[in-house]
Amino acid sequence: MSLVPRWALVSSGCAPVFLIGGWAVAAVLEGSAYDPATQTISVLAAYGASGFWVMTGALLALGVCHVLTAWGLRAAAFAGRVALAGGGVAALVVTLFPAPSSGGSLRHGSVAVVGFTLLAVWPVLSVDRSKAAPWGLRPAPSIVVTAVMAVGAVWFLIESIGDGVPGVAERALTSVQALWPFVVVASCVRHVGPSPQDGPPP
């Protein structure tokens, strides 16, 4: 019996597709006025942006995907599933507070930070310490990917302070965060062994 339902492969696999496809299409609609290297994804979802509805729709779809994946990922620890679902809810909520066309927004920024944080810590909160744990839920890869996300967040902050490339840093960070749930689900689907809820074999 699979540790997770196979439909979780669809929800987790669609997350990076919606995110990356959304910013790619929205950037094309925005045209040469938008620089993906120096401008963030939030600019694409700002009021008045040509790709506003595309990027907003992509964020909504991303949020739903994360919530569904958290629901189906029953092999993960409960705290990790809550954090992943919380990251999905943050993606939904951030669409209610789009960034302004110029300047910053405390509400938008606060929700985005909460979402980034939850999606960064969910791997370590999901760890299954049993010897029969799927690869994606083992301590070592979970700690490594959370560390990578933390480094990505620091990189994004550094690039945002000066005249750097925050758009590149943000895309790298959010791509990892969107892709990791699929990696975990795939490792659970391929895993052969008893479910953590089943206990040790008789």
Taking 50 as the threshold, does the pLDDT of residue 202 lie above it? no
Q: Tell me the pLDDT tens digit for each residue of 168-189.
A: 999 999 999 999 999 999 999 9
Calpha distance 41→22 (Å, rounded)? 10
User: What is the mean pLDDT of the segment spanning 68-74?
Assistant: 96
Q: Rounded CA gap, 148 and 154, in Å? A: 10
Distances (CA, A) of 32 to 28, 53, 127, 165, 177: 8, 18, 44, 17, 28
* Res 80 pLDDT > 80: yes
pTM: 0.90
200 confidence band (pLDDT: 50, 70, 90): very low
Considering only CA atoms, which of 45, 57, 116 is closest in space to residue 86?
116
- Domain segments of the chain: what residues? 7-190
**What average pLDDT does this structure show over 133-151?**
96
H or E element: which one contains 139? helix 139-161
